[in-house]
Amino acid sequence: MSITRKKYKRITTKSLVEMKENGEKISMLTAYDFTMAKILDRAGIDVILVGDSASNVMSGHETTLPITLNEMIYHASSVIRAIEHCLVVVDLPFGTYQGNSKNALDSAIRIMKESGGHAVKLEGGSEISESISRILTAGIPVMGHLGLTPQSIYKFGTYTVRAKEEQEAIKLMEDAQLLEQLGCFALVLEKVPARIAERVAKSIKIPVIGIGAGGGVDGQVLVVHDMLGMTHEFNPRFLRRYADLHSIMTNAFKNYIHDVKAQNFPNKSEQY
């Protein structure tokens, strides 16, 4: 049993801040459905992120932009029905919070009311500070997301490492401090050099959860389909595969197809 499971019956936003204070690293993975969320929760994960990466891995879109608020609510509700222990954070999808804080608040309220999620995540820094503040005033916990922000892919043009140049690194540090001041309980830092990420994590009290941001931050997050080796064509340097489910599933499917064709399935004990 993990240290966290013994100490916290249920993980809250406060538990994550305490974990940072105590030097305990935070584990976070994505999930989008009931069965996966149940396995993750019982395995002892601290946080499930219902990420807008569902747009890629569940719906097959090239980017995260097309996924809708209704679709995010559907995925988040399925996850919420499965969990007993972990914190569930839900991404606000593209177009539901940028440039209009009233819209942002309405979107966050829909997520909380209709899915039962515990917190929302938004991508961006100073440019969305009004939206973050307005959501926070409704008592909805907010996780920030800086560095590579996939919802802005058409602005940046590539998925390469961010904050390599000094100007961008300064803006990143300022944005992280701003998110803390506004009242975010944590932030995700995606694809930035490890030394910059560590500096950011050390400069603020709220936990920094990294993806492609090195080991000097307060926790790690991966997309579950990637770490299970289901998306074998996606190979960024930061991705550690903990299983090769692509091969395992392909073999299982091939064996099933073979058994059906060969009339080996079902056998006598597998029928009524």
Q: Which residues bind ligand KIV (CB under 6 A)?
A: 30, 49, 51-53, 91, 188, 190, 211, 221, 223
In which residue are the tokens 């994590």 written?
201
Sign of CA pseudo-dihedral 172, 178, 179, 181: positive
Q: Among residues 51 and 207, whose Cβ is nearest to ligand KIV?
A: 51
Rounded to the nearest 10 degrees, the angle between the axes of helix 194-203 and helix 166-182 is: 30
Q: Among residues 4 and 55, whose Cβ is nearest to ligand KIV?
A: 55
**93 closest CA partner among 81, 109, 107:** 107
- CB atoms under 10 Å from CB of 260, counted, come to 11
In which residue are the tokens 């803006």 written?
171
Q: Among residues 51 and 144, whose Cβ is nearest to ligand KIV?
A: 51
Q: What are phi and psi of 256, to 5 degrees?
A: -60, -50
- CB atoms under 10 Å from CB of 229, counted, come to 17
Q: Among residues 197 and 259, whose Cβ is nearest to ligand KIV?
A: 197
Q: Among residues 176 and 188, whose Cβ is nearest to ligand KIV?
A: 188
Q: Among residues 41 and 190, whose Cβ is nearest to ligand KIV?
A: 190
CA dihedral 209, 173, 13, 69 (to 10 degrees): -80
Residue 190 appears among annotated catalytic residues: yes
- Give the integer Cα–Cα distance in Å for 58 and 149: 19
Q: Which of 71, 190, 198, 270 is catalytic?
A: 190
* Ramachandran class of 116: left when φ > 0, alpha when ψ lies in -120 to 50, beta otherwise: left
Q: What is the DSSP letter of 59?
A: T
Paired tokens of 60: 């097959």
Minimum gap (Å) between residue 57 Cβ and ligand KIV:
8
Minimum gap (Å) between residue 123 Cβ and ligand KIV:
8
- Give the integer Cα–Cα distance in Å for 141 and 138: 9
Contact 211, 221 (CB under 8 A): yes
In which residue are the tokens 């515990």 written?
118
Chain position whose Cβ is nearest to ligand KIV: 51
Q: Give the catalytic positions in this structure.
A: 190
